[in-house]
Structure 1
Amino acid sequence: MKKSLKSIDKILPFGEAIRGFLNQSFLTETDIKLFLRNRGVFLYDYSKNNSVSFITSTLISPGEFDSLKESQGTREDNPKRTNEIFQWEGDKTLKEAINENKSQILTALIPNNCNFRLLSTPIVHFDSSNDNEAKIILEIERDDLNKSWYESKSSFKAEVFLNLDTTKKQLRLTKTHTSEETKQVLSILSKNLKSSFSDRGYIDKSKKAENIIFKDFTHENRFYFLFNLANKLNNNVLKVEYKDISDIEFKPDPSIQLPDELKWMNDKSKVILRGKSIQNTDFLLKTDNYQLLILWSVEALYRFDIGGIQGTFTLQIGFPDYSRNDYEEAELIIVPNKCYIFDRSHVMKKNEITKRLLDEIDRIKFDIYDKFKSA
């Protein structure tokens, strides 16, 4: 969440004054590429080393600057959901296990030499009716590098929901972050939890946590997993109705020779399809083609009716980190992109609706994962 601006409405940066802003992590090369193309500027190399230098040598309009600022708000305000599962070997309740060494779990969460800090000590909330459920909530504050003219500080919240299933003997961590900084903090918190619990014999230190990562699937089964995960989000209680797949990102496997009908994809490092009913595109209806293509992301459109509150929303479901250098350890990340409420007089907030919808997809995704993961 961005804090009060000091001079953003009075200054339109240009030249070297905008370089620090453009180099911030929330502005990707794709954002800058789109910005330049909207200007009618096409570059051979859109890396920041090249594109940022080009922009600093020109003037930008107030509208263009607003579009760049919006890239930060859109990307960093959306909650992103990931999971980890550990096999539980102890007899203690989750509440007892956390309280035994809470200080170790909540200490040293901030990396050295970084530009952000915890706003306060993280809070652990225990479920009043269930000693095997807990939530850890934290908030960080980031110093923005270009605070002389843009924003001096931004704050971001994150949380970990812990659930101990004593029947399955599983401890599940559901991590929700927004910014890259909160993602780093949750990663450290997860390691602290594992270290504390393994020291006491509640989990096996030698066993990796189970999470859903890119390399867990064959090319073919990754299609089935992502498509099934998208269209299985049909729930009568929340009245969620799957409507369509509106966006997919993939590329041909460079090690496989493509048939004539797919040769148009040769040498493509990324193919993005957007529109209606993408899953019904001719070459995607032929499931034999799945083994030739590397899919890493789908966007699905839904309609919902929660207690009479109706609207639509989209979910981005996939392995976004794979698109950066073919990272096969990329983790499944689910991001709600758009939520629109038809009647805006309703007091229920979009973030409340989003949380309920994310909770629902969390409920089903591991069952679908078990069905399609590689043996």
Structure 2
Amino acid sequence: MSDKMQNVETILPFGTFLKPLVASSKVLTPSDLKNALARKGIFLSSSNKEETLPLLLTSLLSPKEFEELKEKQKVKEAIPKRKSKNYIYTTDDDLIKIAPKLNKIRMADLKKWELENYEITDINLFSSYESNNNKLQMSYKIIRTDLTKDWFDQVSMHEASIDISLNKNEKSLMISSEHSAEETRELNTLLIKKVASVLKEESVIEDEKGTEIKFGDFTNSSRINFLLNFVDDSLDIGATFTFDEITNIEISLDSEVGETLPEDFKWMEHRVSNMKFEGKALHETDILKDNKYHPSLVISLLKINYKFKTRSNSGECIVEIEFPTKRGQTLPEPHSEFLFKFSNIKCKDKINTKSAKQMLYRTFDIFKEECYKKTTRQFEDKE
């Protein structure tokens, strides 16, 4: 083992060695970098990364300053998260016909790369999957260097993919993004924007903006209704999932409700901002079952246990569904997009675990759409 590896704990990185930390992901925001410089007596009017990054790289950080940046950088990733957008399909052609146009998109043109700490590898161009000409997938990996990790974990690989599926009967096109790191989340966002632009130019979709399920689209009651629809496994048209129980909930009290708070919650006003419940069969508790509580509650996350059965596998899984909340905030922002991830999958046939996992993500994506449609119908009827 080299001396460099042995003494890494005593090395304080600077210059290009510091770049993987300060340039890595959106966890370190432009404000974080600007504030780090301000603490060193370097004040800028702009938070632009192109201005703050070079100054940080030519500065010497103290051990305390380095540790503070590392703490900000720590984030849960690796488990794939999935979200989607929907578009109106405007032709009668199969989706496979547009694949050659989509495969002309160059990921190298999506952004400036000199400020990044990763490279893209193993790009698989758009092609059909499940022997279906109306389902396309592309995938890639990134190799990232991250000084916040232990020495042997500083270089890591993260997978990402884009699925495009067409429901010809409903003239509905869904583009789904699967990412496992902040960098791949950002890349997928840029890639989907470019894909939608190509589809619009080719008159395949009506509007390149698309629609997604966002936190601000709901009232407190309709949002809870949407999340609880995932208990109804009859909405899973593929009959893959069988609901077991809800084991985790994140709830906040809506501070704007004021005098309309149920008497049971009055004591929490101005005292409790966020509550996390862990247990068994939480879907049977009054706080979820009784509609009178729903207008004053904001639920942003549920963890749900299912049993599943596919053509080639079966087992149990845990799905987290959420509207993500930014670091330091109590509630999700109105534009926070719904996403889900399988935090645990136990397959009886361990050989086919990877293919089962891919199938579960795609099937749950369709399940999610049916839950949203049911919520929309329910609250349209009430109006």
Matched, 1:313 2:317: yes
Taking structure 1 as the reference length, the TM-score comes to 0.74
Q: How does 1:4-19 map to 2 (within 5 A)?
A: 13=9
* Alignment size in residue pairs: 328
Partners of 2:132 and 2:313 lie apart in 1 by 30
Cα shift readout 1:24-75 (whole Å, capped 9, x = no counterpart): 86999xxxxxxxxxxxxxxxxxxxxxxx959969xxxxxxxxxx9xx87xx4
Q: 1:338 aligns with which of 323, 341, 344?
A: 344
Partners of 2:238 and 2:163 lie apart in 1 by 22
Q: Which residue of 2 aligns with 1:280?
A: 284
Q: 2:183 aligns with which of 181, 184, 187?
A: 181
Q: CA deviation at 1:91?
A: 4.3
Partners of 2:80 and 2:316 lie apart in 1 by 17
Distance of aligned partners of 1:354 and 1:289 in 2 relative to their CA distance in 1, 3 Å threshold: same
Q: CA deviation at 1:281?
A: 2.5
Matched-pair contact (CA < 8 Å) for 1:105–1:193: no
Cα shift readout 1:99-146 (whole Å, capped 9, x = no counterpart): 135323655235542212211444222348433221111111112135
Q: CA deviation at 1:198?
A: 1.4
Q: Which residue of 1 aligns with 2:144?
A: 142
Aligned residue identity for 2:188: L
Matched-pair contact (CA < 8 Å) for 2:300–2:323: yes
Q: Which residue of 2 aligns with 1:80?
A: 81
Taking structure 2 as the reference length, the TM-score comes to 0.73
Aligned residue identity for 1:314: I
Aligned residue identity for 1:351: K
Aligned residue identity for 1:288: K
Cα shift readout 1:283-329 (whole Å, capped 9, x = no counterpart): 33321110111111100112335569554221001112367643111
Q: CA deviation at 1:190?
A: 0.4
Distance of aligned partners of 1:354 and 1:282 in 2 relative to their CA distance in 1, 3 Å threshold: same
**Structure 1 runs not aligned, ≥5 long:** 29-51, 58-67
Partners of 1:233 and 1:111 lie apart in 2 by 46
Partners of 1:202 and 1:152 lie apart in 2 by 43
Q: CA deviation at 1:235?
A: 6.5
Q: Secondary structure at the match of 1:321?
A: coil
Partners of 2:373 and 2:162 lie apart in 1 by 23
Distance of aligned partners of 1:340 and 1:132 in 2 relative to their CA distance in 1, 3 Å threshold: closer
Matched-pair contact (CA < 8 Å) for 2:312–2:356: no
Partners of 2:105 and 2:202 lie apart in 1 by 13
**Structure 2 runs not aligned, ≥5 long:** 29-62
Matched, 1:356 2:362: no
Q: How does 1:18-57 map to 2 (within 5 A)?
A: none
Partners of 1:55 and 1:111 lie apart in 2 by 25
Q: 1:368 aligns with which of 353, 371, 375?
A: 371
Q: Which residue of 2 aligns with 1:215?
A: 216
Distance of aligned partners of 1:16 and 1:163 in 2 relative to their CA distance in 1, 3 Å threshold: same
Q: CA deviation at 1:81?
A: 1.2
Q: Which residue of 2 aligns with 1:304?
A: 308
Q: How does 1:103-182 map to 2 (within 5 A)?
A: 103-104=104-105, 106=107, 108-112=109-113, 113-127=115-129, 129-146=131-148, 149-182=151-184
Q: Secondary structure at the match of 1:103?
A: coil
Q: CA deviation at 1:369?
A: 0.6
